[in-house]
Every structure is written in C-alpha cells, then in structure tokens.
Structure 1
Amino acid sequence: MSGLDGRVLHGLLEEVSGDIVLRLDQRGFILDASANVAELGLDPGATLLLPHITDLAAADHAALVGAHVSTGLAGQSQSGWIEFPVIACDERDTCGETRCQRWYALSLRPMRDAAGAIEGALCLMRSVQQVRSLEGELHARAVTDPLTGLANRQAFCASLRRHLAKGGGQMVAVLAVDGLRALQLRYGQRAADDVTWGFAKFLETMALPGHELAQLDGERFGVLLPDLPARAARDWADEVVQTFSALAAPVSAKAPQLTASAGLARVACTVDWTLHEAELGLVMARAGGGRRVAVAGNRRAA
C-alpha cells in the first residue's frame, strides 16, 4: 500500500467511523496512524523509535495484545476483536491512574505484498469505553442495595463462596434492628427506611478495615469479619449492639425505643448453612429480649 493510498484510506475511515487506524510492520511496530491517535497521548512521528502496538495497552494487558497481533501477523485465524485498556494521557509511561484508562477494541487484518507474503497489518481501534462504563454501572446496580448503598445478598453470598473455596473459618455476623416491622406498621414505610438507612451508616462507621458489609434483606444486615477470632468477633458485635442502643435512646416517652441484636456463625460447609447458623443466632438473641448477641449452638446470649 502506498503512502498516499494509506493516508486516503486512513482519512476515510477516520471521518466515517471515528476509529483509530494503525498500520503495522511485520513485527508489530506502528508505521503510520490516523490523526486521532493523539487522543491516546501518542504521536508516532515525534518519537525517535517506532512505538510497538503493545505500547498502547496498559501493562497488565500488553501480553494479550501482543499475542493477538502476533497471531494475525503469522497469518493464523483470530477470534475477531479483543478489548483492552489504554493509558490515554501524556504521562502514559508512568501513569497508573484508573481515571486515565480508556477501553478500546482492536481488530487486525494482515497486508500482503505482491508475492502473497505478509508485510504488515492494518488495525482498527474502536472505543468501547461507554459500553464498559455501562456494563460496570449495571453490574454495580445488580450487586448493590438501592436504599443503603451496601452490597446486596447476592454479592455477600458470592463473597462467602470465595472464602469457602479457600477453606472458610472466618466469622460472620447477621444484625438487625429489633422491632423494625412493628415500627413500620406504626409509623409507615418511610420511617422504616430511614431507620434502615441510618443503621447501615452506623454499621459502616463501626466496621473495621477488611470487614465486608451487606444488606441481606429489608431487615437484616450481614458483616463478614475475616480477621477476627470468635471471641473478638463477639466483642465487636456486642459493642455494635450496645453502642447503637445507646445512640438510639428515645428523647421522649412517646418516641420508639430502638435496639439491635446480632447472631454469629463461622463460615463453613455451605453458604446457606453459614447464613442459617448466623440467622439462627439472631433469632436466639431476639428471643432473649433483644439487644443481645448469640451464637447458634451456644445457648448463652451476651
């Protein structure tokens, strides 16, 4: 392909689609690029050495891009487009900021000389950042409780499965505000939502680094305590229960008395078994009058 033909083709593609067009040699070095490659903070004409296609990719995806390009330049069949993040800023060689990453899809077509030998390739890079952002937003919504902003039961169970796959043994707590349903019947859903939201924020302030919080349903919250032994986990849960009850003490005789209770269990067997044991502990704590911590299998409530 002549330089003039290449520039014409690059211009047409760039104008029509907004794709970044790259021409590579047989080793994957960038010989030419459409003007919009500047969006990536790259100017091939301003460098003493030709940049390689893998230089565009973030460090942890460079090998993936290199393998894909090498396969295409070898004339082997490929799996179509690949997606990878690009560090799109002027400090691309040293920048590690996630905000500077943009996701692109890459497609490659080998170019052959008159004898049929591969002499390079023509690549298209197409931005998929918007799609990636939308996918991330949809995923976040799928695993987040809309009222409290905490992880939901689905995400919490997935975390428990990961810990079980590594052997389990961590402590998990299930907590709830006592009498929340009665409060809802008396004062309405909005009041119950306010209490639920407030309790979620309170748990966030009480949580230690490494704790994982989730809202299991409209009433119960789960907290994974990966670094605490059983005694320390119980002490933490008891502090949460007592502190909340003190902070939520009614200011008048007519105001509702809000307390909390908690059940504890060890991550073991299955996710369902673990949550069942912790929730059974919560039932036992409430049966003892609330404002307590209990462990299933241990009839004494704190």
Structure 2
Amino acid sequence: MDNLTFRYNILLVEGLKITPQSTYPAFVLLLISYVFIMVSNIGIVTQILAEKSLHQPMHILFCHLPLNDIMGATALLPHLLRDILTDPSERYITYVECVIQAFFNHLYGTTSHTVLMIMAFDRYVAINNPLRYPTIMTNKMMVKLSAAAWGVAIVLVGILISLSVRLSHCRSVIQNHFCDNASLFKLSCEDVIVNNVYGLTFTVVLFSSSIGWIFMTYLKIAIVCLKGKNKATNSKAIKTCSTHLAVYVILLASGFTVIFLHRFSAHSENRKLSSVMFHVIPPGLNPVIYGLQAKEIRQKIVKLFRNKVNSK
C-alpha cells in the first residue's frame, strides 16, 4: 500500500482508550447490550406486525422508533466491538465506510426526534379530537407522517454529510471512536466555516422544532385533560402520554449530554462514552418502556410467553 492510497482512502480510527484489563469486560457488556437491543426491538416490531389487534395508528407509528433504534445501534456497535479487540494502531476504516457510518449515525439521531414528533401528533389528535380520530389518522395520513419523519431527516442529514464529502482531506486520523460529520470535515485543511454554520443551524433547528412541537402538543393535551370531567379518560391519556414523554426525555438528555461535552476538549473520553450511551440507552429502554406501559402490547407479550411456557 503506497502512502497516497493510505492518505486518501484508508483512515485510522482513534477509538476508545480502554485499559488491557477492561478490554474484555467492555466488549462483553457492549455485546450483551447490542444483542438485547436487537432482540427487544425486533420482537416489538414483529409482535405489532403479527397481531391484527395492534394494527392501530399509535402502534404502527411507534414501529418507526424500534426500526430507527436498530439502525442506530447497528451503525455504531459492531464497528466499536471490532475496534475494542483490535490494536489501536490497526483500527482502519475506508473513507467510503466512514461516510456511510457518519450518515447513518446522524440519521439515527435526527429520525429519533422526527418520529417522536409524529407520535406526539397522533396522541394530540387522539385526545383532543377523539371523535374525528378515525377520519384524521387514516392509512394515507400515516403514510404521509412516516414519509415526512424519514424524508426530512434524510434530506437534512444528506446535506450535512455532502458538505463534508465535497472537501479534500489532508489528514488520515479520525479523532473519535466512530465516524461522524465533525470527524469528516476535520480531515480537511480547507475552510470549513460553511460546515460549522450549517451544522450549528441544523442542530438548533432540529432541537428547537422538536422541543417546541412536543411542548405545544402536550400543553394542549394538558389543557383538555384539566377541562375534562372524565377521570377514566384523563387517566388513560396521562398514562399513554407519559410513556411517550419518558422516551423523549431520555433521548433529549442523552443528546444534550453529548453536545454539552463537545464544548470541553478536556472531557473527550467522557464525550466518547456519552455518545456510546446515546446509541445504547434509548434503543435499550424504548422497547422496555413501551412494552410495559402499552397495555395491548404488554398483554400480547405476556400471552406469548405463557403459551411458550405451557407448550414446554
């Protein structure tokens, strides 16, 4: 391999700084986490798609969340598991693979917000306009909401990554444990002000839109609940919304932690750890929260488990 090929096509990933004594425990912990994420999320999606009684807008829209979690975990964890067992001087990745990984990592974070936004809209319509809910949340509407959630994320992330791919690069080391947009444009010796401006605008718009939308929908839901006299209906609405809100708060806290630690170079290892947790905690907790809180899903899972036990 000549230097030119190495310089432009093969990159060295800095990776996590793990002591030799912690290598295998860290590998086993991440492997267990990845297996749990895959099994639980695939299980939830399979259960919803297999049971006709669960073919409701709320559950169908929720399917996008575990699918996105599977994508996010797969974009990072397999590469990270490989790198943990690889000597730091041999943690190579091709430039094309790095770009693909960066795209899917950012797509995961962005789609997490857009999917939770359309789920909030579903809850808003169900509680504020229960009589019109069947006519509003039609199959056509669900397709539009789903397309919007993924389409907006793909376009925004596509522009973000394209701005970095257009740059020539004079460095060959990814100063991170995985590829993201910042890692890509830091490879360049060109002026990256456009990348920084778009990246900052992208983050501000995404978070402000997400927080604003969730706050507005839940404020209107709270007003309806306070004005309503049916305690049973209000209790059901609060229980349903609390599940969605819990998932959103976990996502928000995980995302803000990564962004906050980006501002402090002295905490680079803590930042790396927090970004790993961003790909582990929400995907691991989301199916548990929804599986336990959503009555219909919980009943189907319990029934399936009992049938398997009785069959033995």
Give me the TM-score of the superposition, normalised by structure 2.
0.24
Q: Relative to total residues, which structure has the larger helix share, 1 or 2?
A: 2
Q: Could you say which structure has the greater relative contact order, defined with CA pairs below 8 angstroms and 6 or more residues apart?
A: 2
Q: Relative to total residues, which structure has the larger strand share, 1 or 2?
A: 1
* Bigger radius of gyration among the two: 1
